Amino acid sequence: MAKSSSLNVRVVEGRALPAKDVSGSSDPYCIVKVDDEVVARTATIWRSLSPFWGEEYTVHLPLDFHHLAFYVLDEDTVGHDDIIGKISLSREAIAADPRGIDSWINLNRVDPDAEVQGEICLAVQMLKEVRGRCLRCHVLQARDLAPRDISGTSDPFARVFWGSQSLETSTIKKTRFPHWDEVLELWELPGGPSPLRVELWDWDLVGKNDFLGMVEFPPQVLQQDPPNGWFRLLPFPRAEEDSGGNLGALRLTVRLTEDRVLPSQYYQPLMKLLMESVLGPAKEDAASPLAVLEELTLGDCRQDLATKLVKLFLGKGRAGPLLDYLTQREVTRTTNPNTLFRSNSLASKSMEQFMKLVGMPYLHEVLKPVINRVFEEKKYIELDPCKMDLGRTRRISFKGTPSEDNLREASLGLLTGYLGPIVDAIVGSVGRCPPTMRLAFKQLHQCVEEHFPQAEHKDVKYLAISGFLFLRFFAPAILTPKLFDLRDQHADPQTSRSLLLLAKAVQSIGNLGQQLGQGKELWMAPLHPFLLQSISRVRDFLDQLVDVNGEEEAGGPGRTVVPPSVTVREGYLLKRKEEPASLATRFAFKKRYFWLSGETLSYSKSPEWQTCSSIPVSHIRAVERVDEGAFQLPHVMQVVSQEGAGALHTTYLQCKNVNDLNQWLSALRKASAPNPDKLAACHSGAFRSSRWTCCLQAERSAAGCSRTHSAVTLGDWSDPLDPDAETQMVYRQLLLGRNQLRMKFLEDSNTDTSLAADTGKGPSTTKGACPDALVRQRKAAAHLLEVLADLDRAHEEFQQQEQGKVAPGLLGP
């Protein structure tokens, strides 16, 4: 049994931020930390006090976390970035409402004494001697302390308080992982029982010492269960000051999803029911798990559920039947073909998530070359007369500023210069489209054609497919390339406008020109001839796309979204040369091009280089960050590998920025997730000058000083399939509709009450049903309720077992 935990974070926008630059503005960006680990950095919004980011992240956390923090900073070209403020949310505050947090929250001042992190290892004994009672505090070591010095380290020492007495350990210089192994003895003085407090400080030669954190134990704990183990450092208890909005505010959306995932055998009955649901008649179904889920889920839950269902059925090789089942139900209920799949129904969301899961490499192959051109060329493009800035393209000649017509003509040429290659790439990509996507589109094409056979509806079968492929896949990726991993950063305002115009054009093509010349955007008319020429090519492309034979291959529990040989991430990194004995640090790192697949991490001098080296993914034992002080370089990570029972080998790689680092860490951890013998701890520094830079140990083989974070990953399209976790989420959703299901089919056989009526969604689905169908539905409902009850009992049993083993306050190794 395991605990599944994920954190969904959306940094929406800021308002009323203070000006940090002499221009009277700021260049804000936001850093997101989970338990002091940086997991994301937003783009910088230049010259704005009310920035809009709209960036969303999913962080998978196998262990319980303590707090989530958002820091807003002002980026400066010269010197250090200015801190504007922070927001700190405890795990309890986020979990208080199952719907999460969605609100404006004021930024607060950053208090250095509250910026603590890390853990301390203690062993405490209470002894009775002739002189009286003695408290013996064995201060062993600490790890991952906050860096307080400019070198990125600290000079920590511990101070132990008991009653009115205090003792100190020695000071360990230049480390965030000190090893003291010192025993401090304090004798009880007359008076009442006293708590034990251990404080950590950073020693400074000039000025006051900096606070690093503390732990405190009440007298009853010292008597009954003296501390022994690792303990999280905490700040001094104090009321958090509210800035009253003087530092501005952030609009945030945060939702925590935590669940207990049972062993696989407990989910087999529900999994079987789900698989059987797609084999029955979709139109008459009202009591299967899928029918219940379709009626109950709303809003954000519908998108999450769609993702889980698609991944679950993909893992079983049944994604095609699932999509066919959902689309048949949607088509059957639709009377106006113009509204087909236009709502965010479970069918629409499932198809959308399916395309993202299986089609992302295909999307990158089709769109990335042109998207990169748009970003690199930074051309000014505008067709809307109300938005034209003629001064942007002022000519340095006697002809002066160009006219509106000149600018429109130039913009039209640039737009068609980008759209042409995009359309060419799409219509020529039939052979590169994943077979599973083509089969899903073929089923959709047949279903819509059968339901709307009339001649006046001859385009509906094309619009159903292009509505997904163009309007929900290609166009959103062109509009926001960062959200589809096409670019590392959001576009600047000028490039964003160009991408918006391109996305509008692709949407018009996807609509097969049905809305051309209508609406408010008549200024797009100069582009219409090009769009009309492209539409006939797109129809031919869609005909070829659905002209595919074969069935979806059967899968299994271990099936992945993408084949192991497919590259999931690639790009340039700086690799440290092996044992550069006499080279300066900056010359020890060489630029190499890396490819990561499910099988190998390969690299060579350039993408075209014939000779390349590789590290088998199966040999990877840990992938972790490296302290900046190890090489005096930022954004460095380490890949620790081991071949068989051989020695551990560490490869150091430098990424170009913090987001690149997080994405490589996440991709490597997910690729190596199935590996056995993962390391529980490793060194966060490097072995240089005959010692580890992190903990100062002199032996290369010394045990790791920092805990590894192998299961802390960012959620994206390449997440491994986890049938048990996905079925658990489906079970939780079904619980929400258990009472309605019981009332509808079991408690009153004559009732007309339906799931739709219970949730305010419309008339009964059982009204008018034939008696035989009602008998089958009641039987299916009883079976489903029985399966849910069995899972309830299993969860209760595991929870009781777990509660008997809890040891509060103690951290694992």
Measured CA to CA, the distance from residue 184 to residue 180 in angstroms comes to: 11
Positions in the chain short of pLDDT 50: 395-398, 552-559, 750-767, 806-813
Residue 751: predicted pLDDT: 46
Residue 395: predicted pLDDT: 44
3-class secondary structure for 546-606? Answer: CCCCCCCCCCCCCCCCCCCCCCCEEEEEEEECCCCCCCCHHHHEEEEEEEECCCEEEEECC
CB-count exposure of residue 470 (10 Å: 0-12, 13-18, 19+) = buried
Tell me the backbone φ, ψ of residue 417, rounded to 5 degrees.
Answer: -65, -30
Residue 805: predicted pLDDT: 53
Which 8-state DSSP code applies to residue 130? Answer: T
Query: In the Cβ-directed half-sphere of 60, how many Cα atoms lie within 13 Å?
Result: 21
Residue 804: predicted pLDDT: 67
Measured CA to CA, the distance from residue 566 to residue 576 in angstroms comes to: 26
CB atoms within 10 A of CB 51: 25
C-alpha Rg value of the chain to the nearest Å? 30
Residue 228: predicted pLDDT: 95
Residue 587: predicted pLDDT: 65
Residue 757: predicted pLDDT: 39
Of 558, 567, 641, 561, the closest CA to residue 597 belongs to 567
Burial string for 59-70 (b: 16+ CB within 10 Å, else e) reads: bbbeeebeebbb
- Contacts with 242 (C-beta within 8 Å, 6 or more apart), sequence order: 106, 108
Residues 142, 200 contacting (CB under 8 angstroms)? yes
Measured CA to CA, the distance from residue 141 to residue 31 in angstroms comes to: 30
Measured CA to CA, the distance from residue 57 to residue 196 in angstroms comes to: 40
Measured CA to CA, the distance from residue 319 to residue 341 in angstroms comes to: 18
Task: For strands 681-682 and 649-654, give the pairing.
Answer: unpaired
Give residue-wise pLDDT tens across range 370-419: 999 999 999 999 998 888 877 765 543 345 556 788 888 999 999 999 99
Residue 286: predicted pLDDT: 66
Measured CA to CA, the distance from residue 465 to residue 713 in angstroms comes to: 33
């804000």: which residue's tokens? 28
Specify the 3-state DSSP secondary structure of 74. Answer: strand
